[in-house]
Structure 1
Amino acid sequence: MSWRKSTYSSGEGGECVEVAVAAGAVHVRDSKQAVENGPVLRVGPAAWSALLGAM
């Protein structure tokens, strides 16, 4: 999976959220917890779109 830093994250390194798009899901993680088996929030495309639309 290819992770990328969210454009909403701070550029100072303290508040970084990373996202990765996979088949049928968007994965979100805290870059400070970016270990291979670290915690990941998995949401469906409709939920991701609703979240972005609310911002």
Structure 2
Amino acid sequence: MIANVLVLAAIFAYAGWTLFRHIKRSKEGKCAACAAKKSCESASCLPPSAK
């Protein structure tokens, strides 16, 4: 019984963390999830304040 509760808690914790991370990245802009965002030279990936 305790194992079931721990597994369920782990599943909900991971789902919550994933949702939090998704919301955080979506607030950063369209290039937040891009692996090359640090070296990206595209003007479309620059934040509005840097243009």
TM-score between both structures, scaled by the size of structure 1: 0.23
Q: By percentage of residues, which structure has more helix?
A: 2
Structure of higher RCO (CA pairs closer than 8 Å, 6+ residues apart) = 1
Larger radius of gyration: 2
Q: By percentage of residues, which structure has more strand?
A: 1
TM-score between both structures, scaled by the size of structure 2: 0.24
